[in-house]
Amino acid sequence: MSRIGNKPISVPQGVTVSLNGSEVTATGQKGTLKWSIRPEVKVVIDGQKIDVSRSNENPKAKAVQGLTRTLIDNMILGVSTGWNKGLELVGVGYRAAVQGNMLVLNVGFSHQVNFPAPTGITFEVKDNTKINVSGIDKQLVGETAAQIRRIKPPEPYKGKGIRYMGEVVKKKAGKTAKAAGAPAAK
């Protein structure tokens, strides 16, 4: 039994959700998102409440019911409040800046790294080391933040690199710490 899929979705004020065949459209103050639903599920819009039900009891339909409910809920939250993902730069001389719709990173390479903003994504930089990726599509915001992190992921010895806000990087002991703990060779 899908517990998530059976929960109804409440639609906040200012958001309209419509169903056109197999395509769900959510429109709010931030923009519009569309998504095609799978044939295993049925979506019923009843005023300010949306119900997602499955057509049969096979495991695939149960999984798709929960997924569909979560994706529609994420669309509604995205067009009403939006999604944010924070990144921080850790390292001496590491800094970021926004030039137009381009994120410019100085992260220890011999050159600057220019990262263009995908359509629907905006960048905001605070204190030259904190990057905020925001947009209405949760999947696109998360993927864009992951692509920025891949430019210079945190290394395990000093922790320098680009990391998610609040991410904990476990540090490894270096060669000298390993050698100091080992018995001396004769």
| DSSP code string of 85-118 | EEEEEESTT-EEEEETTEEEEESSSSS-EEEEPP
Please give the residue that has the higher pLDDT: either 183 or 140: 140
The pLDDT of 117-145, averaged and rounded, is 96
Q: Does 70 share its domain with 44?
A: yes
One domain for residues 155 and 92: yes
The pLDDT of residue 182 is 62
Write down the pLDDT at residue 55.
Answer: 87
Residue 185 confidence class, pLDDT cut points 50, 70, 90: low
Q: Which of 80, 113, 134 is the last residue of a domain?
A: 80
pLDDT digits (tens, 9 = 90+) for 34-85: 999 999 999 999 989 999 998 888 888 888 999 999 999 999 999 999 999 9
Instruction: Report CA Rg, the chain.
Output: 23
pLDDT band at 181 (very low <50, low <70, confident <90, very high): low
Structure-derived torsion over alpha carbons of residues 17, 80, 96, 125, reported in degrees to the nearest 10: 160
SS3 58: coil
- Domain housing 45: 3-80
Q: Flag whether 178 is in a domain.
A: no
Q: What percent of the chain has pLDDT over 70?
A: 94
Flag whether 176 is in a domain. no
Give the CA distances from residue 129 to residues 105, 117, 150, in Å, rounded to whole numbers and listed in that order.
10, 18, 16
How many domains is the chain built from? 2
Quick check: is 183 in a domain? no
Q: Write down the pLDDT at residue 57.
A: 86
